[in-house]
A = this chain, B = another copy of it.
Amino acid sequence: MTNWTDYYATRASRMKASEIRELLKLLDQPDIISFAGGIPDPNLFPVDLIAKTCKGILDDKAQAMAALQYAVSEGYLPLRQWLAEYMGKLGVTCTPENILITSGSQQGLDFLGKLFISPNDTVLTAWPTYLGALQAFNSYEANYDILPGAGSNRTPESYRAGGKPKPKFGYVMPEFQNPTGTSLTEKDRIALLDAAEAMDLPLIEDSAYEHLRYDGVRAKPIIALAAERAGGIDNAKVIYCGTFSKSIVPALRIGWIVAPKELIKKLVLVNQSSHLHVATLNQMIMHRIASTVFEPHTKAINKIYKERRDAMLKSLAAHMPAGVTWTKPEGGMFVWMTLPTNIEGAELLRRAIEEARIAFVPGAAFHPDRSGNNTIRLSFSLIEPAVIDEGIKRLGALLRGA
């Protein structure tokens, strides 16, 4: 009989295991200081409150039956109502009809890829960009080019030059981007919107780290700026993806999409055919947690994450040799480091694990063209300040010897 691979759709060839992810799976040894994982600290999860909330729902027979039965694909209405209010506080005027609940923001990216990307369509993205977005869009056979705006040398005109097909959408993470940790200023955002309008280009705004701000001033979400220009969100050409994975907990798998009503209606069908709906119990728990403690909880965890970011920046300043530069993020979980061009991130990782018992993520994985060989991503979210200092000291010594 024929091989399985002969039956795969062409898109399956773009779905590849990340070598780095496989390597990092092996990193559970306790003596390794890992700056690799970009995940929240589970010690900061509001476990007691989740336990109490969950008990409250399941101990009430009527609520429990609703929590465990099939539900509408749009998502749990009280959660969508809370999110509409929350988005309003960020400057995004919208209603529950503008919101779809997804299984994390990753599923939002998958749904948007499914809806928009035909094979070999071009997606514009910052370079580097979020690896999970590339994985989601790869599943629909996207090609990539560089998004105009901050840090890019591209202009709207430059895309028309070669007679290339019109890009399908731009993907941008304007707040504490994964992997660089940097944000777009309001001026950057306006310039990006100008460029997008000139190119007739919809934008996907992924704001997974939005609430993790430790200092500096928040700029309005791009979708808010676009809605102001367009006379309301339903006329704006921006789609926003959010998640509770970093603010509350990841494994209830609750994210959301904010978009014009017309798009949400279509995305509801995508949700229905993809997995019917997000687990109702999880949506009910998240609604109660968010509406009870979102602000004080995020304030409390930001205090801890800020200490870790400060520790990392202080340690970097103390221990890095000349020729190494890094970002100074105002929030999020990451610092992005640029090494001398003769140092290769993946090779450095192999040596770092073996010789210095530290780990990080080489930067090439975040570049659609696998460039950025001399970059690495460091996460400070999981580590106490003293351990951060020890790890960065070891990295400095390794680089001095490299």
Q: Could you tell me which A residues sit within 8 Å of B by CB distance?
A: 1-2, 4, 7-12, 15-17, 39-40, 42-43, 45, 47, 50-51, 54-55, 58-59, 61, 64-71, 102-104, 106-107, 110, 114-118, 121, 132, 135-136, 138-140, 168-169, 197, 200, 202, 237, 245, 249-253, 260, 262-263, 265-266, 269-270, 272-282
Check if B252 sits within 8 Å of A9, measured CB to CB.
no
Contact between chains at A17 and B282 (CB < 8 Å)? no
Check if A9 sits within 8 Å of B42, measured CB to CB: no
- In angstroms, Cα B135 to Cα A252, docked, is 26
Question: Please, how many angstroms separate the alpha-carbon atoms of A168 and B40 in the complex?
Answer: 42
Contacts of A110 in B (CB 8 A): 273-275
11 A-B pairs with CB atoms under 8 Å apart are A4-B266, A7-B116, A9-B114, A45-B68, A51-B55, A54-B55, A69-B250, A70-B250, A110-B275, A135-B269, A252-B281
User: Known interface pairs A65-B45, A70-B39. Does A135 touch B272 (Cβ–Cβ under 8 Å)?
Assistant: yes
- Shortest beta-carbon distance, A112 to chain B, in Å? 10
Copies of this protein chain in the complex: 2
- Cβ contact of A65, chosen from B43, B132, B138, cutoff 8 A: B43
Question: Are the CB atoms of A7 and B169 closer together than 8 Å?
Answer: yes
Expressed in whole angstroms, the minimum distance between the Cβ of A123 and any Cβ of chain B is: 12
Residues of B within 8 A of A39 (CB): 69-70
A397 to chain B, nearest CB (A): 31
A115 and B47 contacting across the interface, CB-CB below 8 Å: no
Q: Which 6 A-B pairs have the closest CB atoms?
A: A51-B58, A42-B65, A107-B275, A68-B249, A103-B275, A135-B273
Q: Which residue of B lies closest to A115 (CB)?
A: B12
Chain B residues in 8 Å Cβ range of A273? 15, 106, 110, 132, 135-136, 138-139
Q: Which of A1, A43, A55, A237 has the most CB of B within 10 A?
A: A1
Q: How far is the CB of A66 from chain B (nearest CB, A)?
A: 8
Chain B residues near A17 (CB-CB < 8 A): 265, 269
A7-B169, A114-B139, A140-B9 given as contacts; is B42 within 8 A of A68 (CB)? Answer: yes
> Closest CB-CB distance, A286 to chain B, in whole Å?
11
Bound form: Cα–Cα A116–B15 in Å: 12
Residues of B with C-beta under 8 A to A282: 279, 281-282
Name the residue on B nearest A239 (C-beta).
Answer: B4
